[in-house]
Structure 1
């Protein structure tokens, strides 16, 4: 139920499950699995149109920020769609309210809070828009809906089918990934197609992983560098949706197919599908970040994460940026932050060289 608009001025609905995975399920799954996958891929036209229009109406303009809130403070609201498709649904937990008796509600609440805390404490960013934007989440969307998405206004979580996918609130990095699409909208407005679209996806993976690592206080070497660990059920031959450390190895399953992500530019995938491969080729910049973080050691958000965050907010970063230009900007920001020829700068440059970008 996601409208992955390809025009750079359109504002897509960003889904965690890539279309290539859903298409595999639609071909190879059980009748029920195929039906659910086709339902997800074949969104109601009116629903997509409404979401697209709403997203365009409220989408941020780069460099234009609302008046900052007086004091940074999370403002979370969690709703339930009650297995319907109406958003936001019924309010079930607001900021400061005690835990509910619904695990999905509490996971969404905690995940939104962990993401807010990360951006505030690590980068002094006041919510998604850096101006105190309230964080809204809706759980129990649809019936056995196999996805989670950000629509420029809020997070939406399906319950999963229980056969291939668990509930989509289960993975903190998935929540961080989706909310980071909102950060990218406000900071860089990266076009959602080709290499700029793959960078858009990669930035969400990078900060989704860092949000999980920050919550667990894991160093780069302790982290699993997986996106969506715990989301796949035990019946699936796989460990996650993606591996940043080893792209292409996250799953190899009779129903889901094999993880198609390349690990370097020599295996870059030329395709018109998935907005020219935004979920596939994101493995290349993902691996570059992971290599740099592992090389630098310690907590990945302190050095590599800072470099990527500064690059995302760099006014030289254009919406249609390609891998090479983005890579050069990360090196430039490493030079600026840590000094030209610093260990940090060398690690970033070496990482991009290893994946064949520089």
Structure 2
């Protein structure tokens, strides 16, 4: 399954707004190329090979072509090379592997030592990075709006997590389950960056793709988990369309039912959980989300509510009925409108049971003239 970091609606907006014909052509080419890739079956996987510590990375160079994987340019334990993008791809996949191994005990994407394959310099001016069901692929960007797609660890972590979801809950890429698929990738992409930088939940920027936007773009990142809808407001990109809660949920057939748009709602729920619990987001909050993803209890078409209730069940199992972790999970899903606030419901129910005021006496009607009182 093809999963890309830049959604089609963003490339469509860039194509519409571009005044430079050559730049418009680059956006159109990326958009058309992605449309073709979405129709292709998942690529065949390379045989698993393991290094001594279980981690195996291989970075290839497509040399601006589209044949995968390309020419091998760096393998596990090789020294850095002169090409910065090769080293960034190597480091980003390594940071993601380390997060999963050290925080959650997972051995690579498939939990069985799958080699982490990356290809850089894919196509010319290609505005995306994607997971194709087998490996990571990075474009160099258009040079005006987006730079090299290897620059953000969270983008690499995001795309590799699509692979983790593929091997675990396998959430359908449509509607709310698709938005959860996207959100889970943002969550663990952000955690990979936070773990690599040693950041607490309070210190993290909670931005996805902050390093992709080039100078002159009016924005800070592709998405903000802390404040969905505020990542950018730029004449070329348009305004960030993500809602922060269910009151702004976007009902659309575009983008597989709004998977990149509505993912802002569960993204914010995770941010709220992590900051409410405090400490490192890859500890308690991360364990709740990872445990939910790998529990085997999620349906492939899980709704936001089903996922929220599953995170409650995981928090309860890990930390107990009266735990601060469970309270934080419940409060966060209520804040974004996925779960109903039981206190509000109880107050409403109590109000409906209170006796109503006695009816007032009917007004007196004067007797017709000429009659006895």
Contact map agreement 1:210 1:301 (CA 8 A) in 2: yes
Match status 1:21 vs 2:2: no
2:92 and 2:311 mapped to 1: Cα distance?
Answer: 28
- Partner in structure 2 of residue 170 of structure 1: 151
Structure 1 residues 70, 45: CA separation in 2 closer, same or farther (over 3 Å shift)? closer
Match status 1:199 vs 2:194: no
Work out which structure has the larger RCO, using CA pairs closer than 8 Å and 6 or more positions apart in sequence: 1
- Partner in structure 2 of residue 321 of structure 1: 302
Deviating runs (4+, > 4 A) in structure 1?
44-49, 66-72
1:225 and 1:153 mapped to 2: Cα distance?
Answer: 27
Contact map agreement 2:209 2:222 (CA 8 A) in 1: yes
SS in 2 for 1:100: coil
SS in 2 for 1:43: helix
Aligned residue among 215, 219, 234 for 1:234: 215
Deviation at 1:341, TM superposition (A): 2.2
Deviation at 1:58, TM superposition (A): 5.7
SS in 2 for 1:42: helix
Deviation at 1:46, TM superposition (A): 6.7
Structure 1 residues 123, 165: CA separation in 2 closer, same or farther (over 3 Å shift)? same
1:67 and 1:106 mapped to 2: Cα distance?
Answer: 22
Deviation at 1:48, TM superposition (A): 5.4
- Partner in structure 2 of residue 332 of structure 1: 313
Deviations, residues 234-274 of structure 1 (Å, cap 9, x unaligned): 12100000000000000000000000000000000000000
Gaps of 5+ in 2: 340-373
Deviation at 1:139, TM superposition (A): 0.3
1:46 and 1:230 mapped to 2: Cα distance?
Answer: 27
Gaps of 5+ in 1: 1-11, 60-65
Structure 1 residues 71, 152: CA separation in 2 closer, same or farther (over 3 Å shift)? same
Contact map agreement 2:61 2:71 (CA 8 A) in 1: yes
Match status 1:40 vs 2:30: yes
- Partner in structure 2 of residue 78 of structure 1: 59
Deviation at 1:29, TM superposition (A): 1.3
Deviation at 1:92, TM superposition (A): 0.4
What are the residue-to-residue correspondences of 1:122-201 with 2, within 5 Å? Answer: 122-201=103-182
Deviation at 1:333, TM superposition (A): 0.5
What are the residue-to-residue correspondences of 1:53-64 with 2, within 5 Å? Answer: 53-55=41-43
Contact map agreement 2:51 2:76 (CA 8 A) in 1: no
2:32 and 2:42 mapped to 1: Cα distance?
Answer: 20
1:70 and 1:33 mapped to 2: Cα distance?
Answer: 42
Deviation at 1:71, TM superposition (A): 6.6
The alignment's TM-score, normalised by the length of structure 1, stands at: 0.91
The alignment's TM-score, normalised by the length of structure 2, stands at: 0.88
- Partner in structure 2 of residue 290 of structure 1: 271
2:164 and 2:326 mapped to 1: Cα distance?
Answer: 25
What RMSD in Å do the two structures reach over aligned CA positions?
Answer: 1.8
- Partner in structure 1 of residue 241 of structure 2: 260
Structure 1 residues 235, 350: CA separation in 2 closer, same or farther (over 3 Å shift)? same
SS in 2 for 1:156: strand
Contact map agreement 1:25 1:33 (CA 8 A) in 2: no
Larger Rg: 2
Match status 1:90 vs 2:71: yes
Deviation at 1:296, TM superposition (A): 0.5
Structure 1 residues 67, 39: CA separation in 2 closer, same or farther (over 3 Å shift)? closer
